[in-house]
Amino acid sequence: MSLALAHVAGAGMVRFGKYPADVTLEAMALGAAREALSDAGADLAAVEGLYVGHVFGGPVAGQRIAAQLGLDGRPVSNHENYCASGATAIREAWVALAAGLHDVALVIGVEKMTDRVAGGVRPDPGDLDAAVGYVMAAGHAMSARRYMAEHGATREQIAAVAVKNHAHSVHNPWAQYQKPVTLEQVLGARPIAEPLGLLDCSPISDGAAAVLLCTPAGLRRLGLGTGGPRVLGVGQISGSVQTGLGDLNAEDVSRRAGEEAWRLSGVGPADIDLVEMHDCFTIAEIVRMEGLGLVPRGRGAAWAAEGVTALGGRLPVNPSGGLLSRGHPVGATGAAQVCELTWQLRGTAGGRQVEGARTGLAYCKGGTVNGTDGGSVTTVVMTA
């Protein structure tokens, strides 16, 4: 099943990073939106609906952005789905286009984390995970320990993911970090949750990304001919509460997310040329790629160390630098992944270009369910 009605006509970002308080969430959203519209050669009059993904922006952030952008009065929706918020907004816009509600939709993913997270916001005391010490870093540290014990992977192999992704981001002008790191720097970084250190973890970030999605009719209205890369399918599944010991790295949620992606897009794992993966921690990239069926079980760490998932390798993962190096403003991440796929499939990604890229997948995962296999996963499959 493939609806294949949506084209990415325009993509735009503001550089991810840490911004002072006077750089507002709305200002970043407007900057990304204007870049996407300019990229498409479109103006605001063409936009029929606005979809905004964010987590810390407040209940009507989308409406504030619409008013400042000049889109007030048109349909606006807010999507809070933790780290998958931007990707969820893309899914909802894609569904609206497929349903015939719009021909042109603007999607913005945006987050201002330094004011909220670094500024002292703490987890809800009623959150069971946090109450028992299961913060994200602890969960992924347990995943890394289990992976090393079961598959004979080394700490160096896991750290290779960070080395790879930082090397990629050197060529990404939108990335929060644009300098390479060495294996020794990753291994020697400040410990966060054994065995993971600071450079195994994605940073707190601010930023925004936007895409303009069009049906074929929308493209004709904008005078864009055949348009840009096509969105073949946007799958979404949720995690399930599990009891018992189980397999910490089974990644059933990733398996099911992959199955949904293949079902909706009509392509399979063998068709994927590059992946933008939700690498909130180094080990996360490894186990999620395996869960999707893109990497053999137990080989993800070795593939990273051997360069298989690096630029020039068989299956490049996170040519943008990923969350580890491009940055992770949670509401913006999913939209940024789609921006990167757009540039890659156009062949305009510069020094990080994946040669011959025709089909790509973006995977974004948000939250946990009391420490189980994930809150919500959104997968986007695109083709040139």
Catalytic residues: 83, 328
Cα–Cα distance for residue pair 64/57, rounded to 1 Å: 10
> Mapping DSSP to helix (H, G, I), strand (E, B) and coil, where does residue 147 land?
helix
Cα–Cα distance for residue pair 344/274, rounded to 1 Å: 9
Extract the tokens encoding 246.
């189980």
In 3-state terms, the chain is what percent helix, strand and coil (to 5)? 40, 20, 40
Q: Which of 10, 15, 82, 11 is nearest to 325 (CA)?
A: 15
Cα–Cα distance for residue pair 257/266, rounded to 1 Å: 14
Cα–Cα distance for residue pair 183/152, rounded to 1 Å: 19
How many helices and strands (H and E) does the chain possess? 13, 11
HSE of 336 in the Cβ direction (CA atoms, 13 Å)?
A: 37
